[in-house]
Amino acid sequence: MSYTTEAKVENMFGVDITGGKSTALIDIIAAVKTFIDRYCGKTFEAVSEARYYDWCGERRIVVDSFVGNPTALEFLNPDGSVARTLTIGADEDYIIAPYNSDSSGLAEKYEIILTNKGWSGNTGWFYAGLPTGIKAIKLTASFGASTSVPADIQLVATKLAGLLSQENADGILKSITLGDYSATYDSIEGAARAMGVTEILDSYRDITI
């Protein structure tokens, strides 16, 4: 899923993109999405899929960002078969964090925390029964920062796509005038800074200390 469309670019800049530039814009919109995702370190479309993680027996497990509750959390044997499927819930095997929430219930999560019941239990199965090692965890969830693209990310994508669609014939990004807008730049990130949109992207970046 793209973060903008040709129609949005045309409406924002008051231009009519036709012919070869219209064809090229498809690739540019895809490139803009890739740039935004890499710059922010996350994607803004939820993709439901299974991802695998190594496990060394720790109680708190950091995973890729996801929204909503996981569809399944499984611990796998070395041959890939399922050793145990865990159940979400404070009174069950695990919970998810950070604990913040929003009105939609789709705040971004990136941590699995094994509960006291799940961690020890009466049988101590976590120590005796769960496999550790490479790809010991299989998490199925909606990975991404949101189930719908935030409006400000759509705005950034539209601005960048419009700018990049008008690059010079030699392929080197230098300057552009679209309608009443003009800017000078030397790279995709330079274009983002020229348009003042990196401040928006910075607000979505996770800071690791």
Count the Cβ atoms, other than its own, within 10 Å of residue 79. Answer: 6
Amino acid (one-letter) located at 64: D
**Range among 12-16, 100-104, 187-191 with highest mean pLDDT value:** 12-16
The length of the chain in residues reads: 209
The CA distance from 139 to 113, in Å, is 13
pLDDT at 144 over 80: no
Amino acid (one-letter) located at 190: G
The whole-number pLDDT of residue 169 equals 38
192 or 202: whose pLDDT is higher? 202
Q: How confident is the model at residue 124 (pLDDT cuts 50, 70, 90)?
A: very low
1 or 36: whose pLDDT is higher? 36
Write out pLDDT tens, residues 147-165. Answer: 678 889 999 999 888 877 7
14-23 LR contacts (CB < 8 Å, sep 24+) = 14/178, 14/179, 14/180, 15/162, 15/178, 15/179, 17/165, 21/165, 21/166
Q: Provide, rounded to the nearest whole percent, the portion of the chain with pLDDT above 70.
A: 74
The CA distance from 91 to 178, in Å, is 58
194 or 37: whose pLDDT is higher? 37
Write out pLDDT tens, residues 44-97. Answer: 877 889 999 999 988 899 998 888 899 999 999 999 999 999 999 999 999 999
**Phi, psi angle pair for 102, to nearest 5°:** -135, 180
Q: How confident is the model at residue 193 (pLDDT cuts 50, 70, 90)?
A: confident
- Going by their DSSP bridges, the two strands 82-86 and 133-143 should be labelled as unpaired
The whole-number pLDDT of residue 23 equals 84
The whole-number pLDDT of residue 138 equals 98
pLDDT at 121 over 50: no
Q: How confident is the model at residue 172 (pLDDT cuts 50, 70, 90)?
A: very low
Average pLDDT over residues 182-187: 54
